[in-house]
Chain A
Amino acid sequence: MEALLEPVSQFFGPAWPAVWTLAKIVAIIAPLMLGVAYLTLAERKVIGYMQVRIGPNRVGPKGLLQPIADGMKLLFKEIIVPSGASKGLFILGPILAIAPSLAAWSVVPFDDGMVLANVNAGLLLLLAITSMEVYGVIIAGWASNSKYPFLGSMRAAAQMVSYEVAMGFALICVLLISSSLNLSDIVHSQGQGRFHDMGLSFLSWNWLPLLPMFIVFLISGIAETNRAPFDVVEGESEVVAGHMVEYSGMAFALFFLAEYANMFLVSVMTSVLFLGGWLSPVAAIPDGFHWLALKTAFFLFVFLWARATFPRFRYDHIMRLGWKVFIPITLVWVIVVAVWMMSPLSIWK
């Protein structure tokens, strides 16, 4: 690999680090976008089968070209800016929605050493970037100058801020026991312990000692991405499509891409933080990127599964679950974990 890259790096000279980083970014974003496209197909297929239907099966063999057709349709549609809208912010909304959900991938470790930016404060950076996701929704809702988008964006602001708190506390537990904010180190810290020495690595991953946090994180992740059953932001029976009502064509598609990219992100984060990232479940099988892909695929399936299974929450129940159930649970568990670590029973020495 090094020898192959040598002539190329000499060709670019001092610009090489920038070019090489850009190449890495493309290598992350391009498969991600393809994955997002096919996640929409998977969603329609999975929900179809769960409702004893077939799902899309007309475009291409077994409907496999459906996402391409959808994408083409959205690309060629006109973007209509409503006459009363605040034009600059109306265009800025979708951009601000998708930018953080792509930028957050810079710190995700795909394999041992395979990460774009191996920063020390990776977990914090991730929290900071994902906390900016709400701006796209708020700005879009306000700039549309219309009732339903505004209501949708108000709901989004309240919901995303509330669930971020629970998510943050769950992450505090993780960083307590791995005593690092670096995501690669967090994965490495899961690959040790009593069960790991017995060959059953999957029992030494974070999900078992932090089981309540694992569940809280996953549910908060679903709420944070505004997916069913927490999709009151775009609940069609109440606010049509929330902040996306006035958007058409590619501007709408950007919101759509951002939502699915966020689903990917939450799934990857859950796998990295609680299910040992690229580590293999038993010591006999080698680690590798495919394990992370498998775990992510499982959580993506959980997203679709939850959407097909649960009815939508009422809005006050969402707030109650966030503030009165999750935050107390996480607060108590932070103290439990801290005391556990300091006690002689600690398993993280």
Chain B
Amino acid sequence: MDFKTLVFYILSAIMVFAALRVITARNPVHAALFLVLSFVTAGGIWLLLAAEFLAIVLVMVYVGAVMVLFLFVVMMLDINLDRLREGFWSYLPVGALIGILLVVEMALVLGGRYFGLEAMPTPPAAQAGYSNTRELGRLLYTDYVYPFELASLLLLVAMVVAVSLTLRKRKGVRHVNPSEQVTVKRGDRVELVSMPAEKE
């Protein structure tokens, strides 16, 4: 077993353990942190496959941004752990169905030799000076430019919808304009009044 394989097995073991803990951890914050761990190890496995751009972007987007906001919300929830367990049996059939579907899909991918996937040639090894990022960018903006732009448009729509769903105009809120605040002079706020001294 060469070094790469060893690293792969170590990372995979950590990832499987972390993924298991995501669904078994009692505390939602711990579960979210285990999800972070599984993302990081998944990034490591992608690095082993020489897909450095995807690996780094996975860590940057999911670990650095999405999960931070996730934790942000989960930490502020006031969760009663006993009530969380109540619905277990009623949700079990749906959950089991989705689980079985996932297992079947993975089996289709992993058992690829029955579906003619072996006919695909192994991609040639990368030459020196090969940049994963450059190649991905070239493909995205030449061969796949329309699907790519379509996906970005979908994301934009989702973003606008999310904002418009949560946007609410509250009445009676005192609003300050920072640029007006900054340009305020002393004369606008303070008035010096000259008056005769009080006599007892």
Contacts and interface: CB of A to CB of B under 8 A. Distances in A.
Interface in B6-25: none
B53 interface: yes
A317 B191 CA distance: 28
B68 A134 contact: yes
A131 B178 contact: no
B146 interface: no
A120 B132 contact: yes
Contact of A124 (B33, B56, B65): B56
Interface in A110-132: 119-121, 124-125, 127-128, 131-132
Q: Is the interface of A mostly helix, strand, loop or mixed?
A: helix
Given A135-B36, A150-B75, A161 B53 contact: no
Choose among A119, A120, A154, A164 the residue with the greatest number of B CB atoms under 10 Å from its CB.
Answer: A120
Contacts, number: 70
Interface residues of A, number: 26
B71 A138 contact: yes
Given A119-B52, A131-B59, A142 B29 contact: yes
Contacts of A282: none
Interface string B38-74: 0000000000000011001101100111001101100
Contacts of B63: 128, 131-132
Given A128-B64, A131-B65, A150-B75, A181 B59 contact: no
Contacts of B152: none
B25 to A, nearest CB: 12
A121 B59 contact: no
A153 B72 CA distance: 9
Contact of A158 (B30, B64, B72, B133): B72
Interface residues on B, range: 20 to 34
Choose among A125, A160, A320 the residue with the greatest number of B CB atoms under 10 Å from its CB.
Answer: A125
B129 to A, nearest CB: 9
A320 B178 CA distance: 9
Nearest to A139: B33
B65 A121 contact: no
A138 B63 CA distance: 13
A309 to B, nearest CB: 16
B93 to A, nearest CB: 34
Choose among B53, B56, B64, B132 the residue with the greatest number of A CB atoms under 10 Å from its CB.
Answer: B64
A164 B59 CA distance: 14
Given A134-B64, A150-B75, A157-B71, 14 more contacts: A120-B131, A121-B131, A124-B56, A127-B60, A128-B60, A131-B59, A132-B59, A153-B75, A154-B76, A157-B72, A158-B72, A161-B65, A181-B131, A320-B178
Instruction: In the A-B complex, list the 6 residue pairs whose CB atoms are closest, starting with the nearest.
Output: A131-B64, A128-B60, A128-B59, A124-B56, A128-B56, A120-B131
25 contacts: A89-B30, A119-B52, A120-B132, A121-B56, A121-B131, A121-B132, A121-B133, A124-B53, A127-B60, A128-B64, A131-B59, A135-B68, A138-B68, A138-B71, A138-B72, A142-B29, A142-B71, A154-B76, A157-B68, A158-B72, A161-B64, A161-B69, A164-B64, A181-B131, A320-B178
